[in-house]
Amino acid sequence: MVSDPRWCPTDGLVRQLAVEFGTPLYAIDEASFRSKIRDYRASFLKFDAGAVLTFASKANSVVGVLRIAHSEGCLIDCASEGELRAALMAGVPAKDCHLHGNNKSRSELDFAIDQEIGQIVADNREELELILDAASGAEVVLRLAPGVLPITNEKISTGQSDTKFGFSIDDGDAERAVKFCIDSGLNLVGFHCHVGSQLLDPEAQIAAGQILAEFARSMHDRYGFDVKILNVGGGRAVSYTDEQPVPLDEYNDRLVGGVRVALEGSGLRPVLVQEPGRSLIAEAGVTIYQVGVVKDVARSGGGRRRFVVVDGGLADNPRPALYGARYGIIGVSGDGRELGELSPATVSGRHCEVDQLFEDVDLPNDLRAGDFVAVLTTGAYSSSMASNYNRYPRPMTVLVREDGRFSVLQRAENFEEMLSREVLPEDLK
């Protein structure tokens, strides 16, 4: 039997966290997060002794999370100046960061260059010209579109030919970008791709890695370019409900093997890089809500529906609304009583939308106001994508330490902070 990779806190711990810190609440288990990084790095290094793991901070850019990832040997992938500033605040040297983004501004590039960023992952010709104009010696990696369509939600698929990301290999843009870098004297060091995320099967990432390697080989043959970096992105799936991703060793063995076969006989030995985010942090996180209302209503087509309404929703986890994302969920009594048998319920949020977080999930049939709902596998993208919709302050993030202590990583936003950006012109007062 395969053990559940998700952190699932005990009922007592859920109550303790909720009572001490309030709800909604993001909680991260330090031991689980560190373990997942160590396991991923050890597996990757088993198949390539020089491999490098980079944490995709878009998944969770809380400063304490970035500090832990770096302390465990990860470089930090930043998709914006804000994410780079968060990494710097975490004490991560800029040389250990990569700047991504498909529409970087001149000021964003200037900031990264001034900080002596490790690598700039360039997305388009205009960006290359900005880097050239800045007279920067920064290492440049070209993001390429390998023309691979993965099996995943279309909204998180990014490697196909008609994507907004990167230089297309198919139509010659990638080769033209290489020639521009060589002719202009830019410090081109390698190539990058990312085909998408929540990949249950590694075939798309393996295919993209092979295409990247074959492209590097052709650039060596045509222009003498000696590739130093091949970054094959991230995307390995996690278990939200009953998903079973390919085992980590099999995933890395096939990925590394595919790239090495494509490079065989070329004399090229680039450093292989992966940049997982979700697969390192998602399963180490839980979101805790308090139940406010339980309603039993008639369905339009007959039958009844039980609504369990919680004190969060669309603003603190938009993924169900964006992608139809589903999660593992547990009900926890607020007073320590034993809860009854499970029956279908729809967990809804408090926002002025349909805001159905989780439709037709099994929860105790006697769940009531004051009880709690803990949502598993929320370490990735919940905090990063949180908003102030309906003017709700964003939740706190708490780290459950390896020794059982709690540390606040991010304070809950208050109303004063949320409204601090507002300006009321004198003539409107």
Q: Which residues pair with 8 in a beta bridge?
A: none
Is residue 255 within a helix (H) or strand (E), and if so which, with residue range? helix 248-263
Q: Which residues pair with 329 in a beta bridge?
A: 375
33 neighbors 64 (Cβ within 8 angstroms) = no
Spatial CA neighbour of 396 closest among 288, 279, 321: 288
User: Cα–Cα distance between 391 and 126 in angstroms, integer?
Assistant: 38
* Residues comprising the chain, all counted: 429
Where helices occur in 332-410 by DSSP H, the ranges are 382-385
Measured from the Cβ of residue 76, the count of other Cβ atoms closer than 10 Å reads: 27
User: Cα–Cα distance between 129 and 311 in angstroms, integer?
Assistant: 48
* Three-state DSSP class for residue 393: coil
- Count Cβ neighbours within 10 Å for each residue of 220-235 and write b for 16 or more, e otherwise: beeeebebebbbbbbb
Q: Which amino acid, 414? A: N
Q: Which residues are identified as catalytic?
A: 352
Is residue 250 within a helix (H) or strand (E), and if so which, with residue range? helix 248-263
Is residue 1 within a helix (H) or strand (E), and if so which, with residue range? none
What string of DSSP letters covers 103-166? S--HHHHHHHHHTT-SEEEE-SHHHHHHHHHTT---EEEEEEE-----SS-GGGB--STT-SSS
